[in-house]
C-alpha cells in the first residue's frame, strides 16, 4: 500500500522541463507501461535523447519482470534487449544501455540450460558490456554492482565449471558489491540485488549481505518507485532472517533472484 500511495504522488511530479512527461518520469513514478510506450516511440528526433528514452523503456520492462508484474518474462526481456541495442547505436556513449543489455541477457539466460548459456557466450558478452559501461562511466555504482552480481550469479548457476570457464570469483563479486555499497550513488535497487546474491552464496558472506540489505531497507531514501519496492524487499528478507533463520531467508531470496515472485 505504501508503494502504491507514493507512486500516485509521483505521477503528478514527473514532468520534463518542457512540461511534457518523458520516459524517465514515467519510469521513476512506476508507470512502466507508459514509459515503454513513450520510450519506444520515435517522437524525439535527437538521437541521444531517443537513446535515453529507449534505455528507460528497457529499464521499465526489466522492472516489470523483477517486480513480478510481467505477463511474459521472455517477451519482455527480448524487447528490453532490442531497446538497449538500439540505444547503443543511437548513442555509443550511453553506459546505461550496456547495463540494460546485460540485465536482459541475464534474464534470458535463466530460461536456458547451463550448457546452452555457455555455448552462446552470454557470460563473456555480459562481462564485456559491464566493463564498457565502467569505461564510459567509471563512477557508475550500478555497473560496479552488476559486475559483482555477474561473479556471484555465474557461480550460483554454473558452480566450479562456470567459474573455471568464465573466470568468475565469489570474493571478487563480494568486493564489487562492497564498492557499490560504498558509492555515493548507492541505492536500494542495487543494494537489494547485491544483498540477495551475497546471502545465498555458498561462501559465507552473510555479514556483508546483512550490512548491504540493512542500508537498502531504510525507508524514504529514494522517491523512485522501483527503489521503494526494493527497499521493502530488503526489509522482508531481513525480517525472515531474524524470525525464521538463514535457510528461510535464502529460500525467499531465490524466489526473487529467479524472478518467480508474484
pLDDT at 5 over 60: no
- Report domain extents, the chain: 1-138, 145-262
Q: 162-218: per-residue pLDDT in tens? A: 899 899 999 999 999 999 999 999 999 999 999 999 999 988 999 999 999 999 999
* Alpha carbons 109 and 261: distance in angstroms, whole number: 18
Query: Count of residues for the chain?
Result: 262
Question: Is pTM beyond 0.85 here?
Answer: yes
Q: What is the pLDDT of residue 262?
A: 61
CATH superfamily, with its number, for domain 1-138: Tetratricopeptide repeat domain (1.25.40.10)
pLDDT in tens, 13-60: 333 333 235 889 999 999 999 999 999 997 777 889 999 999 999 999
Burial class of residue 221 (count of CB atoms within 10 Å of its CB; 0-12, 13-18, 19+) = middle
Which DSSP string do the residues of 187-256 spell out, in sequence order?
A: -HHHHHHHHHHHHT-SS--HHHHHHHHHHHT-TTS---HHHHHHHHHHHHHHHHHHHH-HHHHHHHHHHH
Amino acid at each position: 500500500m505504501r508503494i502504491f500511495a507514493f507512486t500516485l504522488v509521483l505521477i503528478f511530479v514527473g514532468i520534463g522541463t518542457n512540461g511534457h512527461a518523458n520516459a524517465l518520469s514515467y519510469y521513476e513514478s512506476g508507470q512502466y507501461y507508459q514509459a515503454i510506450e513513450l520510450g519506444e516511440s520515435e517522437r524525439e528526433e535527437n538521437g541521444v535523447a531517443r537513446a535515453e528514452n529507449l534505455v528507460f523503456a528497457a529499464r521499465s520492462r526489466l522492472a516489470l519482470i523483477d517486480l513480478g508484474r510481467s505477463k511474459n518474462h521472455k517477451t519482455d526481456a527480448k524487447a528490453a534487449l532490442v531497446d538497449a541495442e538500439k540505444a547503443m547505436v543511437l548513442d555509443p556513449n550511453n553506459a546505461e544501455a550496456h547495463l540494460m543489455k546485460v540485465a536482459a541477457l541475464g534474464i534470458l539466460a535463466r530460461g536456458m540450460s547451463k550448457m546452452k548459456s555457455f555455448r552462446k557466450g552470454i557470460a563473456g558478452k555480459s562481462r564485456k558490456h559491464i566493463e564498457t559501461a565502467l569505461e564510459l562511466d567509471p563512477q557508475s555504482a550500478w555497473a560496479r554492482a552488476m559486475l559483482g552480481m555477474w561473479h556471484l550469479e555465474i557461480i550460483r548457476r554454473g558452480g566450479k565449471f562456470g567459474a573455471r570457464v568464465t573466470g568468475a570469483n565469489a570474493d571478487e563479486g563480494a568486493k564489487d558489491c562492497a564498492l557499490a555499497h560504498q558509492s555515493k550513488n548507492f541505492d536500494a535497487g542495487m543494494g537489494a540485488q547485491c544483498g540477495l546474491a551475497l546471502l545465498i552464496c555458498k561462501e559465507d558472506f552473510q555479514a556483508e549481505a546483512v550490512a548491504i540489505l540493512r542500508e537498502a531497507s531504510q525507508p524514504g531514501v529514494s522517491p523512485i518507485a522501483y527503489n521503494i519496492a526494493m527497499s521493502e524487499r530488503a526489509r522482508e528478507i531481513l525480517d525472515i532472517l531474524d524470525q525464521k533463520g538463514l535457510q528461510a531467508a535464502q529460500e525467499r531470496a531465490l524466489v526473487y533472484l529467479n524472478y518467480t515472485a508474484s
